[in-house]
Structures are given as C-alpha cells and as structure tokens.
Amino acid sequence: MAFEFRLPDIGEGVAEGEVVQWFVQEGGTVQEDAPLVSVLTDKANVEIPSPKTGRIVKLHAAVGDKVKVGGLLVTIETDGPAGAAPTASAAPATPVAPEVPPAPTSGTAPAVAKAPSPSPPPRPVGGPVAVSPYLRRMANERGIDLSKVTGTGPGGRITEADLLGTSGTRGTGASSPAPTEASPGTPAPPAPPAPAPAPPAVPDAEVAERVPIRGVRRVIAEHMVEATHRPAPFTYVEEIDASELVLLRDKMAKHVEKRGTRLSYLPFIVKGVVAGLKAHPWMNATMDDARNELLVRSAYHIGIATAAPDGLLVPVVRHADQKSLNEIAREIQDLAERGRAGKLSRTELSGSTFTITSLGALGGVLATPILNYPEVGILGVHRIVRRPVYRADGSVGPADLMNLSVTLDHRVLDGIVGAQFLATVKSYLEDPHQLFADLR
C-alpha cells in the first residue's frame, strides 16, 4: 500500500523547512525509524526518521526545495493498509523552489541543482497563504489582509511586488482602487518611476561555476537583508587598554584549563557586556516592529557569533549573568564545537537578547557589525595588539590595546547610549578583577 508522508510540525513557529539531504533514493528501501531526510529550519538541521518500513516510490521534494508543514515529502510502498501521516494542514503544500538566483563563488565544488518544474497557477484569493515572515510583518504594518492577496510567486507564494500593489485596508480586495479621472485644471499625478533595467547577462564563458544559494547560506542571506532594511544602524568605537585583562586571563587559564576547558578572552568580554547591559537596560532589548514597541528584556541571553562550514551561526549562552567564568567558557566551547558539526538545536540558535561577534586573532582593527535583528545592539571584538602608549605621568611604555565597536539601532537608541554602554564595558575590562574573582 502507498503511504504518503508529509512534513510534520518540527517546532513552535516553524511553517516550512528546506530539504538539505535525503538519506534514501527512489526505488530503494527504508526501515522504520531509520534516517529519512534532513530539513533546515532557522539554521538548525532536523533529522526526520522514517515512519514506516517499505520501498521508496517517489521523493516529492529535491534538495534545496522548501516544503511547508503538512506538505508531501515522500511516498513509501508498505505492506500495511494505505494511509497518510497526520498533518498540520488540511491540504498538501507544494514545495517552493529556491527564490535566490545562483551566485558565483570560489573554493566550492559546483552543486548541480534540479531543474525546476513548471510553476503552478497563482493561488486564488482567499486560499491558504504562502508568505515569508518578513512580508507578513510588512503586511501587518500596512494593514493588508493577506487572505485577500493573490500570490504570483512559485506555488502561489506572495511576493513583495504583490504587497506593494495592494491596498492597505483590511478586508478589501487585493488591488488598489482605480484612479478617478482628474477634473479640469487639476494637475495630473506624477507618473510611477520606470522599473530598473535588468542587469546584463553574464556570458557563460565568463562563469567559472554556479553555486545555488541554499541551506544555511540562504537563511543568512534572508536575515542579513532584513537586518539592513529595518534598523537604522549606527556604530561607535572605543579603544580598550587590555593589559590587566591579559595578565588575569593568563593566570586564570592555568586553573580553568586543568578542567579541560580552553579559556579565551571571550568569557571575560561576556561578563563585561552583561555588566554594561545591566547598567544600560535598553541595550538588552529586541524590537517588535509589528507593534512598534521596544521589548526591554529581563534575562541576559548572549549570542556568540560562530563560524561554521556552512556559514555564520549564533548559538546562545542563556542566563549569562547567572554563570561563572568557567561555566561560560565551557558552554561557549561546547556550543562552538557542536555548531561546527551541525548538531545544534533550533532552541540553541534562537532567543538571544544581545550578540557578540569576534574573529579572535584575525579580529582586525575595526569592523561595523550587522545587527542580529530584532536585537538593537551588537558588539564587535578586535584583536589585542601590544603598542607603546603615553601614560599620565608622561612616560612611554607598552600596553595591550584592542578596539571594541558597538552597532546600535538608531531608531530607538541614541549614540550617547552606545557610548555610555561601551564606557561601562571598558571600565570592567580595564579592571577585570572586580568581575571575575568567582571561579566555580
């Protein structure tokens, strides 16, 4: 009997997942509870086991396709009675092919993308709504009823162009009211701007390879677009004399590393950041753009930007204010190792209230970090360099110096807030003994 398996509900708030890897192929067999498919949601890979033992009749989504919760994934021929797995939606959803065009990169083996199937007709008005979270928020802000909008994207997906051509009145039709004839003497309305010319085609002879933007890289791309379109970023930089921090870290590392944990400067910086957030609570906040509200957070969940093979991840150290230096160091090390292995859960990659990004020894002199939206602040950490400095008594001597840069959402935070916050962090890092005496 043919068994149709649909994408189950794989987490709160998850509406769709991208197929990253199939562990089976058409015509092959699979055992119940054996790995069936890996699906990506918000940078976290979820491995879904097979619900049945049988032969794979058809895979209904290719690697790179997005499938909605309840969408058909695979048909399995079993010995039992026919049936379908319970779903979260009444009708099967059509996998949505990647919308981001391939872009040439270097150092990566070319990936072969499956040819897209013909696009189905647009979704009728009033049917199930297929729309990204970014466009859903845009619709809420403009007062647009999505159920009244006809999606013209693949599978009836609503595009930004569909929203821009829609009236902002809830419950009205999908089209803007027709313009009325101007009365005599009334100046004609200005003509709409001409569409931007399409970019020139790149000759095939000049393309070294075509790499589809999908998986974690596509999630990062979508987040970066939102993080640059919504906030109004502003960056402030401060120089830190880390000489005392270097000495303290060297002494404490001897004790911490006996327990198998590498002690970098990052746990010290997390401690300093928490002190700064407590002194300036509005920095520990996230934006609710749908309600136009700033949510000042009472918990201190610090995101740590981490490089992984598939792209940048931001695992979260939760309740960092309640943890010792050793606990923070151990947790950062564990999150980084599992992040590089692709073993972090969606929960471990979400919910941060403030983010720290650092390239360690490659930290450079200065960078302007992009906000981890909807957070309103992010700290950039740069490498420590020993240089001569003039001291207050007029003498010249060596010092271990580094730059810290903080990027703010200037819509809700003025530059003075960022300067005060960074001054607080600076004071604790230049005299770290006041924070890090407790080593549990």
pLDDT in tens, 403-421: 999 999 999 999 999 999 9
- Region 336-360: mean pLDDT is 89
pTM, 2 dp = 0.63
- Taking only the tens place, the pLDDT of each residue in 21-30 is 899 999 999 9
Average pLDDT over residues 154-169: 65
The two structure tokens encoding residue 10: 């794989």
Give me the sign of the Cα torsion angle 94, 168, 229, 231: negative
Q: Give percent above pLDDT 70 in the chain.
A: 76
pLDDT average, residue stretch 145-173: 65
For the annotated catalytic residues, the residue numbers are 410, 414
Q: Is pLDDT at 167 greater than 70 in this prediction?
A: no
Angle between the 415-430 and 266-279 helix axes, to the nearest 10 degrees?
130
- As a whole number of angstroms, the distance between CA 316 and CA 334 comes to 11
Q: Give the span between the Cα atoms of 285 and 338, in whole angstroms.
A: 27
pLDDT at 245: 95
Q: Is the pLDDT of residue 355 over 80?
A: yes
- Say which amino acid occupies 207: V
Q: What confidence score (pLDDT) does residue 385 get?
A: 93
Per-residue pLDDT band for 235 (boundaries 50, 70, 90) equals very high
Q: What is the pLDDT of residue 131?
A: 65
What mean pLDDT do residues 57-65 have? 90
With 80 as the cut, is the pLDDT of residue 158 above it?
no
Express each pLDDT in 360-373 by its tens digit. 777 788 889 999 99
pLDDT at 382: 94
Whole-number Å distance between alpha carbons of 421 and 273? 9
Q: Model confidence over 193-220: pLDDT tens digits?
A: 666 666 678 888 888 988 888 777 888 8
DSSP three-state, residue 11 = coil
| Three-point CA angle 163, 222, 135, nearest 5° | 20
Does the N-terminal peptide bond of residue 374 adopt cis geometry, omega within 30 degrees of 0?
yes
- Rounded Cα–Cα distance for residues 305 and 336 (Å): 9
Mean of the pLDDT values across residues 134-142?
Answer: 71
Q: How confident is the model at residue 47 (pLDDT cuts 50, 70, 90)?
A: confident
Q: Which has more pLDDT, 125 or 355?
A: 355
Give the whole-angstrom CA distance, residue 267 versus residue 328.
Answer: 6
Residue 78 sits at the vertex; the CA angle it makes with 77 and 79, to the nearest 5 degrees, is 135
- Residue 163 confidence class, pLDDT cut points 50, 70, 90: confident
Once rounded to an integer, what is the mean pLDDT over residues 256-283?
93
Q: Rounded mean pLDDT of the chain?
A: 80
Helix H or strand E segment including 138: helix 133-142
- Taking only the tens place, the pLDDT of each residue in 368-397 is 999 999 999 999 999 999 999 998 888 999
Q: Per-residue confidence at 10, pLDDT binned at 50, 70, 90?
A: confident
